[in-house]
Structure 1
């Protein structure tokens, strides 16, 4: 068989597999059966859509416990093929904080640690040559998994569905969203109309790409909810109601370039087939190869993002929007062979394909502010959007699903704190829009530049690129990718100052903090410490998982224990007082519905059997982790027995690399490495939000204690009649 054409037998097989709609796609049958009936009329949270955003939100709320959550999806089954497939380092970090999700996804995925760049041959002969190889992400970014994971969305959805079931939650299918109306009901102000749908029918468009046809049954149901969250994708029906009746806008632009995404198994002589490879040909457009997991037969899949509007050697004059449904799998495979010439691609299996133009659009509001509907005033921030309902863009930078997951995480912990009676809704909930909309804007601006350059177009924000030579354009493209690596990993996403992030500690009554290297509004730098009770080395950022109760992490760096003991006693006395935040901010009854008091499962550091208050938190919504700069073998519980609420979670700072080597004895190799990395050599207090972002950094003295009070007073609210856990 020729390397440039498929045999008729193989071509027939490709078409039949495409028409099957991917129902036999590997690894997607392992998920719980959905619910089919909606048996209640009143809910705490209604989530529309069970893609990554909706499932992340539902799984998080199920983990926190105590919430009545309805998750509906108009499809009768989860994703079985295609769609999103790249998990970036910060998202991996978040998922590792939701075990066993993180480990499951890492084990199933194909990891890409390297990116390669291919361009037209420099000698003018037809073909491509590799011009550069780089690590996927710079080493100095402090990322545990310094790679991108390739995993089909169906497997990701399956993992979330299993995680939800472990915590008592399932998706209800097939129910479609029809409308919502705001009412004056103070407790459940959102009225939502849903419609029962028929099972999904798989068909194909003119080019043979799979299309899901979902028809209604006419059976309607109206329910009331406290919160409605639209996680229903780029064509979000929830967003359209916000546009039509509440002045929300969804604006953006298109790049008139046509791309296809093809999931396939190939036999090839292209050397970088198991690396992320960005390929630019001289006349036939661009190709982006992304390694994926093995299919059910053990064959390695790749995703090929392929420019298909340059098949004839020059850009097609037809509108990308008009011709996208006419693109066939054969056309995509032909384009791949032209772009990657002289390397040969023999396509063995086509798992899935689709075709799309590139566009960048961003919604003006992630949450609906207070307003009026039909003359009735309604409260703000009870309707939200997350994921592709907020932002659409090209998939080549691998940001869509990742941004969606982080959107959902950001919303979940805020709703949890409000509904558990701890947070002031009018103060905390608006910060979701403030932080995530700013991130979405940054994403759209980056993608507009990156996708245009990838497609051989001139970014509208950079007309000067038109005057560059081909060599300069190649270097500029790589520079853009590397310059934005912090953002594309997710690890470099920064939030501005607000009630949650205080870069200037003077607003909290603190004169200064000595040389902290941590920045509020930025994710906490990972570091190692030894969990004293079991002598286990742990990554301190994962000691408290993103699960019940969903509280704050407060890292108390003790420094030299003897030197700072008076300060630590003073802090402990402050925390034990009736007016401390530990005693003023108590949850309501929703926090009592779990198996282990405040937890579904106690953290290992507390699950010890130690009595006398050594394994019991004063308030589990504020996890106090005491980290002492000392060899673990030279640290005893007796030394901290007078430190009250600081005692239950004790760690020795003796395993983080680059600490002080004090002797050749065990445990003396790296003393103080965590203190040094965080720039708090003499001790300090780091307050972290439930999502692992630094809220404030405070000194280890009376100002630190008072600063924490002012910090939490900014957005929490004191409970009436405290209910102790």
Structure 2
């Protein structure tokens, strides 16, 4: 196998850009690559939808990887498909700026949901029965809304972000087959096939379909990792089912739905809100506001039940009927369901028809095993993400969001393993454990939600059949309320494993010191003042999801006058060659990044301050020192002897929502972050690269607290000896 050179950012783009494309006047994206002229790759990604592009752009941001992203289509999505971005996903993308701001500014945000039901007086038609805020404010989501944005625009944003970091998609190439080999470096052998340009056609009902035919040209490559992001009909998943005992488990709901993207003129008052509409006899309708089209006209997505057009459920199976539905039938169904309100359809951008299926793959990664000739191969080198793992109804707006978080979860793990910091079996094994459990929760929720929305009785709650109509309406709303934490993404909870220690006494040797932060859960957002420029900042966004892709340690210092000796002890510990900062060092690959450890320095480090006030001892462990004090009462000279702790200084002296960011001469807002996190006396909050809390250790209990942090990282990181006991920097 020939030796391959790693590509620095900017070097991966091998073909001249032809100026980009503008499809329908709203999409712009760089030209794809068309040739595969290398035989070995670090990561091969099959599928350039949101899951594949999120994984690709994350790896491009981390840098130092040779990534091949293939897609069988000759161009990105230009209409239809997924279109809802939930609050936690927005938060993740705002941690990948400018992606988050680009998506938010282009989209249609929905802050409210309304519920419409049959008229209470028995007359034909519907009436609004409830209006609610989209999501509870106690989750403290910055953007407390759902964004309506067409998948093509989302793909375009990812593609531009990839290009900013020197990476493009290769088209049109399709996955054909893979086999595991005894190659120690590139164990996965993959066969790819060149495809002809996509041609668009329609099915019997006129819904658009894509026809993609092979050219007969094939290519075989080797790769360290093969990741299937190729959707609900994943070919890679089918290979795993046929040869490696994977199963894709689930069932169909025999209800037929259509998705229609349209421009309307209507007297329906909630057309720019998310509206769930249930008629008495003609089924259900779900209106979802979308971005403006190229003419500046507001689009809406209408999810419409179309198997009750005659006033009762059709006896034809949803699978048999789906290709016969026309856009005119969908529009007629909307008029019937929404009566007495009228919809004048000015234009149809896209439509499709589908039955609802809930299915979940048995495993997200291929365990270690043996090749056909008996040679063992490592585990977690073939993996799945997104709809290749889970399929369900689109109405709860979870598919693309779950796919994006799947890819985020996989990207940072691959990055730490390939940078020489993490044990591959241990860390990559947690990808299946955490994301499969989330996928199971998604399928269970969607099975109940989609059945209720369609007027069916969920299989797991047969008691719904005995409810009155009023009780069913209340039950439907309660289902949404009860699952709000999950559907926003902000309440997704990971079980205890090597990454999450709810009870630190069991394996870390210290007692629990707060109930306000929970390992395995997203870090609760809080505000502080960045000392270097006195700017109020949301602490969860101070370190972006980009190179180097390390851990964040929020060191809550408490009162400096009381805790200085504890901080000095921690700084002394960190300076020791036996500390995690010096034991866990990245390999040579991290030195190949264009700007060393970072593509772009965080603002908190990009200050021009010398003498260690803006440089990290190890950039894979970001130390954010938060002092319970007014910014006016702190000088950096007070912390100049704190070594690795002094690079990023913050003052806990503001409180969002109570005269937010208001400068006061008293201590009215001092300590808000410490109090919110339950760390009045200080503490060390270890946060994973994906923003989830991993462990919390005391800072005032001497060496036992510091050793707890060491034990945490020892659980999954890999010690690389440094020659002569010398400490090095990236």
TM-score in terms of structure 1 length: 0.95
- The range that moved more, 552-561 or 585-594, is 585-594
SS in 2 for 1:267: strand
Q: Indicate conservation of the 8 Å contact 1:47/1:72, yes or no.
A: yes
- State the match for 1:649 in structure 2: 648
- State the match for 1:501 in structure 2: 500
* Distance of 1:155 and 1:515 partners within structure 2: 42
- State the match for 2:30 in structure 1: 32
- State the match for 1:360 in structure 2: 358
Q: Indicate conservation of the 8 Å contact 2:182/2:371, yes or no.
A: no
Within the alignment, does 1:717 sit opposite 2:712 as a pair? no
Post-superposition CA distance 1:56-85 (Å, at most 9, x none): 000000000001100000000000000000
Map 1:153-552 → 2, pairs under 5 A: 153-376=151-374, 377-552=376-551
Within the alignment, does 1:620 sit opposite 2:623 as a pair? no
Map 1:535-614 → 2, pairs under 5 A: 535-614=534-613
Q: Indicate conservation of the 8 Å contact 2:626/2:652, yes or no.
A: yes
Q: Indicate conservation of the 8 Å contact 1:558/1:683, yes or no.
A: yes
Structure 1 residues 235 and 721, CA, compared in 2 at 3 Å: closer, same or farther?
Answer: same
- State the match for 1:110 in structure 2: 108
Deviation of the 1:682 alpha carbon: 1.0
- State the match for 2:124 in structure 1: 126
* Distance of 1:103 and 1:276 partners within structure 2: 22
Q: Indicate conservation of the 8 Å contact 2:508/2:712, yes or no.
A: no
* Distance of 1:509 and 1:350 partners within structure 2: 59
Post-superposition CA distance 1:593-616 (Å, at most 9, x none): 223220001111111111111111
* Distance of 1:540 and 1:66 partners within structure 2: 27
Deviation of the 1:426 alpha carbon: 1.0
Deviation of the 1:719 alpha carbon: 1.1
SS in 2 for 1:606: coil
* Distance of 1:720 and 1:149 partners within structure 2: 48
- State the match for 1:12 in structure 2: none
* Distance of 1:173 and 1:657 partners within structure 2: 47
Q: Indicate conservation of the 8 Å contact 1:595/1:601, yes or no.
A: no
Q: Indicate conservation of the 8 Å contact 2:419/2:589, yes or no.
A: yes
* Distance of 2:59 and 2:666 partners within structure 1: 40
Deviation of the 1:251 alpha carbon: 1.0
Q: Indicate conservation of the 8 Å contact 1:89/1:491, yes or no.
A: yes
* Distance of 1:86 and 1:295 partners within structure 2: 16
Deviation of the 1:657 alpha carbon: 3.5
Post-superposition CA distance 1:250-269 (Å, at most 9, x none): 01000000000000000000
SS in 2 for 1:66: coil
Post-superposition CA distance 1:395-429 (Å, at most 9, x none): 00000000000000000000000000000001100
- State the match for 1:98 in structure 2: 96
Q: Indicate conservation of the 8 Å contact 2:508/2:709, yes or no.
A: no
Within the alignment, does 1:74 sit opposite 2:72 as a pair? yes
* Distance of 1:243 and 1:418 partners within structure 2: 27
Structure 1 residues 252 and 26, CA, compared in 2 at 3 Å: closer, same or farther?
Answer: farther
Deviation of the 1:24 alpha carbon: 4.9
* Distance of 1:279 and 1:43 partners within structure 2: 50
Q: Indicate conservation of the 8 Å contact 1:79/1:157, yes or no.
A: yes
Post-superposition CA distance 1:282-309 (Å, at most 9, x none): 0000000000000011100000000000
Deviation of the 1:273 alpha carbon: 0.2
Deviation of the 1:139 alpha carbon: 1.2
Q: Which of 134, 137, 147 pairs up with 1:139?
A: 137
- State the match for 2:13 in structure 1: none
What is the total number of aligned residue pairs between the two structures? 703
* Distance of 1:249 and 1:508 partners within structure 2: 35
Map 1:611-690 → 2, pairs under 5 A: 611-657=610-656, 665-666=664-665, 668-690=667-689
* Distance of 1:247 and 1:116 partners within structure 2: 45
Structure 1 residues 239 and 509, CA, compared in 2 at 3 Å: closer, same or farther?
Answer: closer
SS in 2 for 1:220: strand
Structure 1 residues 584 and 24, CA, compared in 2 at 3 Å: closer, same or farther?
Answer: closer
SS in 2 for 1:93: helix
Structure 1 residue ranges (4+ consecutive) displaced by more than 4 angstroms after TM superposition: 658-661
SS in 2 for 1:129: strand
5+ residue gaps, structure 2, are 1-20
Post-superposition CA distance 1:299-343 (Å, at most 9, x none): 000000000000000000001001100000000000000000000
Deviation of the 1:660 alpha carbon: 12
TM-score in terms of structure 2 length: 0.95
* Distance of 1:86 and 1:671 partners within structure 2: 38
* Distance of 2:673 and 2:165 partners within structure 1: 34
- The range that moved more, 587-596 or 190-199, is 587-596
Q: Which of 87, 90, 98 pairs up with 1:89?
A: 87
SS in 2 for 1:429: helix
SS in 2 for 1:218: strand
SS in 1 for 2:490: coil
* Distance of 2:529 and 2:124 partners within structure 1: 58
Q: Indicate conservation of the 8 Å contact 2:512/2:696, yes or no.
A: yes
Q: Indicate conservation of the 8 Å contact 1:109/1:149, yes or no.
A: yes
* Distance of 2:361 and 2:25 partners within structure 1: 35
* Distance of 1:667 and 1:329 partners within structure 2: 64
SS in 2 for 1:278: strand
- State the match for 2:7 in structure 1: none
SS in 1 for 2:29: coil
* Distance of 1:352 and 1:669 partners within structure 2: 55
Q: Which of 37, 41, 44 pairs up with 2:42?
A: 44
* Distance of 2:303 and 2:277 partners within structure 1: 10
Q: Indicate conservation of the 8 Å contact 1:308/1:335, yes or no.
A: yes
Q: Indicate conservation of the 8 Å contact 2:256/2:353, yes or no.
A: yes
* Distance of 1:664 and 1:519 partners within structure 2: 31
Quote the RMSD (CA, aligned, Å): 1.6
Q: Indicate conservation of the 8 Å contact 1:633/1:667, yes or no.
A: no
Structure 1 residues 667 and 79, CA, compared in 2 at 3 Å: closer, same or farther?
Answer: farther
SS in 2 for 1:440: helix
Deviation of the 1:658 alpha carbon: 7.4
SS in 1 for 2:38: coil
Deviation of the 1:23 alpha carbon: 9.3
SS in 2 for 1:323: helix
SS in 2 for 1:279: strand
SS in 2 for 1:171: coil
Q: Indicate conservation of the 8 Å contact 1:203/1:213, yes or no.
A: yes
Structure 1 residues 108 and 667, CA, compared in 2 at 3 Å: closer, same or farther?
Answer: farther
SS in 2 for 1:478: helix
